[in-house]
Structure 1
């Protein structure tokens, strides 16, 4: 997930003296009791993150997750289905074994990128070289044939593997400033090195592949010890692997100092052709206004450097738990509560965009969308997304929430509409009130977002339980509201050029990837 935060007016949600003991609404009391005493969050997290694992679009695990989610909702007594909306490149991750074979023997910590081609069984051994620091494009072109049969290292090597917070705590000011200057110099030099080739970072691996390289070696370090981001490969025939910063540094230094290191890369992924893509939709049917909807929104897919725990396993299990609680205590809400478990958010909000495109009959009947997609922390901010009525309606619904579940929560009204970043944007662009429920960081940006560390142990279940109860209360209040929330939009501000900004335009989903 990535997201844009803009706000014009801040309001701290506060209800003086309001506590669980003073709650008068019997349904809210029952929601709190059910969510506190009978939580299924740990069970859901174990099955989704430990048993099924990462949920990269196009993989068997993604389809397994869709089917599992359907089963869970049906077991709750909800209607649930998988809705097909397209296809994607079918692929399955296998084992990754990367070994330094010369000048000494050592297993290296690394893995394939998503959709990377496999090697032959037993792997391919070859020398590893660093991308040339060419004086000009002609020199790069002259060097290019020398990469044939070699692994090419395409990432810069930072001067330190320690995070900034350790430097700030332990280093002298002079040492810290010196390190930052060195890091900036290295980054600038490497950017120039790439620029001189005439290709960008997406194109370069393809050029090296065409030149006959044995594979691409990189390291996308986040700045936190041990955490690397894992995205998709650009190569079609040779493997692309990411090494931990520590082992990439070892290999880089050996190559730069003329030791001609050799590695054996043995990666056993599977090309599965074409796979179908889905959204999983569940519904707690309403009564009096059953043809109107409150939507609980979270994306089911993930990148696959780790288990996809905080992006967005926690969002999924939160919405599952909120739905379970509501079914237990409010089996017949006024409006239908629809739970959207979207596919392929990480590849461009494709699942939610497809749902919006494929269900025009629902769009005018959606009361509100609550979306959760940024980690395991307690929900602490909500933007009005530019809807002028958000202040009244969200304020009223939040008023009913006991203080303990919202004591750190701030709202921003009217706010500005999100043009992307997560699935609420797919609805906002269609003038539907949809709100991102922003969470406390818990190091999300550098530590778990799309990284090798996004694992079950990073979940803070007390915070997730808080969120499930909060969302269940908001969904209940929104479902019982007398009328649909108005959709009047704010006047957009002027941009830096003095021109009036526009409301985000709806985008079509990408429905296939060869």
Structure 2
């Protein structure tokens, strides 16, 4: 893959934690294949259409007969799901598992053991070389006009500061556009503070609107002569816990240290700057980049009975940031897809096609696992029937969308009808796919999004607060039911999904 392509993949992954977070307003009514069950909680209800006209323009799919195996899967997910126990096992036995770390190696071993224990076929680890970045000690403080300690954390991939730390006057900006418009003389030799807040939304769309600052802020500031960057954490909480996340540098642009402030500390800094007095900050980061390390994509399958070479991929990412335990990001996703496969095995009959579980390496800071999977399986990508990724914690699924050729829309709508009893609406807009599906999107593989409720997800996302207690078992079980239904229905469908034409992928 070219350097430009690799940079594009990394940029896309860093600016959208899950591409399935931003549904369009064009939604259909809940499919009429069967009466939709009332949501168990308020969060289960799908957001209302943006307007009555938008809803009316999206025709609901025609009713289809229920599949007894789908009914069994949805019932088993509700009463016999072991997904929560799987998250607990990953959190308790492994915990943090940033790419290249000892935790990453332990996670691969855990995944191999778990997939085998659940009875999946062809369980294996496919080697991936991943970046190895270590955080090191970190600290910060406001020096003037008043002394305050700062709760901060290095952005993933940041260079460290000099051993004695870095001190400078703050220049505050809200956006990358504001940074680009600023006079270089006002920035040179200073520490740039990006103050933009993230808006809480049920679909997570607020994240994509500000995450670009985290990824590109250091480059934009360095081009103007800044010596360092601080930003308000990309999160919706008011806890004094900063949110990390990957950032990037560019060739021929100085690499300057970059860190995120907890939201209360960022608001304090903004208030002080707003008083009009010079504000000075000092911070120290011990971050360093080490040589690439070996990791792996971990794969297991439910082998198809008639067309085993045709594949329905259900994925999540195995790595997690080092601050927390990776329970919601993405332990819950890993558990959902593995448990869905286990429930399919429990039916006692195999689907026509193979259901392949992929636990991707290095989603958080590089997408090396996604790139390696597409490369290693290039010869069979045209036989991937459908792909989905779960990467939004245990939030209930409220909407489903598909990126498929027009000729495959009927089978997509049939699948949408089958998940409707779980309180899931059908949206006619195109799916975007999670970050690990970006290379498959480029290869014309059909994609389905299961949009989850993100109302509270970004309170703990990429923080030390990403712990098991943030996972809600009942909501996670609903996600399992949705994944199992989609996987079974796509793998069992008599039709084969057509490849997605380029004009639809661009849209």
Distance of 1:136 and 1:468 partners within structure 2 = 49
- Deviation track 1:92-111 (CA, whole Å, cap 9, x = no partner) reads 33443445688887653222
- Give the one of 167, 170, 191 matched to 1:130: 170
Kindly tell me: are residues 380 and 417 of structure 1, through their superposed partners in 2, closer, same or farther at Cα, counting changes over 3 Å? Answer: closer
- Give the one of 473, 480, 491 matched to 2:485: 473
- Give the one of 494, 497, 507 matched to 1:482: 494
1:47 is aligned to 89
1:71 is aligned to 113
2:151 is aligned to 109
282-291 or 343-352: bigger deviation: 343-352
Give secondary structure in 2 for the equivalent of 1:384.
strand
2:436 is aligned to 423
Q: Please say if residues 296 and 339 of structure 1, whose CA atoms lie closer than 8 Å, have aligned partners that are also in contact.
A: yes
Q: What TM-score comes out, normalization by structure 2 length?
A: 0.71
Q: Which runs of 5+ in 1 are unaligned?
A: 145-151, 166-186, 192-198, 490-500, 506-514
Deviation at 1:421, TM superposition (A): 5.2
1:154 is aligned to 192
Distance of 2:113 and 2:223 partners within structure 1 = 42
1:442 is aligned to 455
Distance of 1:257 and 1:401 partners within structure 2 = 56
Residue 121 of structure 2 is aligned to residue 81 of structure 1: no
Kindly tell me: are residues 104 and 337 of structure 1, through their superposed partners in 2, closer, same or farther at Cα, counting changes over 3 Å? Answer: same
Give secondary structure in 1 for the equivalent of 2:403.
coil
Q: Determine which structure has more spread, i.e. the larger CA radius of gyration.
A: 1
Q: Please say if residues 245 and 364 of structure 2, whose CA atoms lie closer than 8 Å, have aligned partners that are also in contact.
A: no
Q: Please say if residues 205 and 234 of structure 1, whose CA atoms lie closer than 8 Å, have aligned partners that are also in contact.
A: no
Give secondary structure in 1 for the equivalent of 2:346.
helix
Give secondary structure in 2 for the equivalent of 1:368.
strand
Deviation at 1:344, TM superposition (A): 3.3
- Give the one of 314, 323, 331 matched to 1:313: 331
Kindly tell me: are residues 485 and 117 of structure 1, through their superposed partners in 2, closer, same or farther at Cα, counting changes over 3 Å? Answer: closer
Work out the number of aligned pairs and report it.
437
1:170 is aligned to none
Deviation at 1:208, TM superposition (A): 5.7
Deviation at 1:314, TM superposition (A): 2.2
1:220 is aligned to 233
Q: Please say if residues 384 and 411 of structure 1, whose CA atoms lie closer than 8 Å, have aligned partners that are also in contact.
A: no
1:328 is aligned to 346
- Give the one of 217, 221, 231 matched to 2:245: 231
Q: Please say if residues 162 and 225 of structure 1, whose CA atoms lie closer than 8 Å, have aligned partners that are also in contact.
A: no
Deviation at 1:290, TM superposition (A): 1.9
- Deviation track 1:243-300 (CA, whole Å, cap 9, x = no partner) reads 22333454566687768767563x5555432223532211122223222222212233
Distance of 2:497 and 2:182 partners within structure 1 = 60
- Give the one of 355, 361, 379 matched to 1:343: 361
Residue 298 of structure 2 is aligned to residue 285 of structure 1: no
Give secondary structure in 1 for the equivalent of 2:127.
strand
- Deviation track 1:413-469 (CA, whole Å, cap 9, x = no partner) reads 3x3363x7533443343232221111122234x534555654433322211101112
Deviation at 1:326, TM superposition (A): 2.0
- Give the one of 365, 370, 373 matched to 2:388: 370
Q: Please say if residues 113 and 232 of structure 1, whose CA atoms lie closer than 8 Å, have aligned partners that are also in contact.
A: yes
- Give the one of 208, 221, 224 matched to 1:204: 221
Q: Please say if residues 30 and 420 of structure 2, whose CA atoms lie closer than 8 Å, have aligned partners that are also in contact.
A: no
Q: Which runs of 5+ in 2 are unaligned?
A: 1-16, 39-64, 174-178, 202-209
Q: Please say if residues 125 and 262 of structure 1, whose CA atoms lie closer than 8 Å, have aligned partners that are also in contact.
A: no
Kindly tell me: are residues 46 and 200 of structure 1, through their superposed partners in 2, closer, same or farther at Cα, counting changes over 3 Å? Answer: closer
Give secondary structure in 2 for the equivalent of 1:297.
strand
Kindly tell me: are residues 128 and 453 of structure 1, through their superposed partners in 2, closer, same or farther at Cα, counting changes over 3 Å? Answer: farther
Distance of 1:487 and 1:245 partners within structure 2 = 44
Deviation at 1:11, TM superposition (A): 4.5
Q: Please say if residues 30 and 36 of structure 2, whose CA atoms lie closer than 8 Å, have aligned partners that are also in contact.
A: no
Q: CA RMSD in A?
A: 4.2
Distance of 1:9 and 1:217 partners within structure 2 = 39
74-83 or 105-114: bigger deviation: 105-114
